[in-house]
Amino acid sequence: MNFELLIPITLFICITYAIKVVVDARTRAKLIAGNGSEDLIRSLVQAEAQQRRHTSLRWGILFVALGLGFALIEAFGWTEITPGVIAVLLGMTGVGNLLSYAASRKLG
């Protein structure tokens, strides 16, 4: 594996995430400085907290589904990348997304 390619990709992801964090912080600061109503600020903070919980739930369910997909691949003894292996992983990704959608609808 070419680890030389991994460093620029990781750097790009870190820079992009840092920019997102700074923009979000500035937006919150402008909302607070703009004398927005307390109810508006409270509802934004609560909505953001709920969105973080739902995002964590989604990724958790998706990773569990992918783990089950890899377990199926291991159980069947597939050692090469074939269309069937890719189909199992894509199918489990879809199942994970559908389960997370159902869970967020039930919770939300």
Check residue 1 and give its pLDDT. Answer: 65
Amino acid 22 reads V
Q: What is the pLDDT of residue 67?
A: 94
Mean pLDDT of the region 8-36: 88
CA 63 to chain CA centroid, Å, is 10
> What is the phi/psi pair of residue 78, to 5°?
-75, 125
Using DSSP's 3-state secondary structure scheme, residue 34 falls into coil
Percent of the chain with pLDDT over 90: 44
Q: Which amino acid is it at 106?
A: K
pTM of the predicted protein model: 0.66
The predicted pLDDT at position 104 comes to: 83
Q: What's the pLDDT tens digit per position in 45-88?
A: 888 888 888 888 889 999 999 999 999 999 999 889 899 999 99
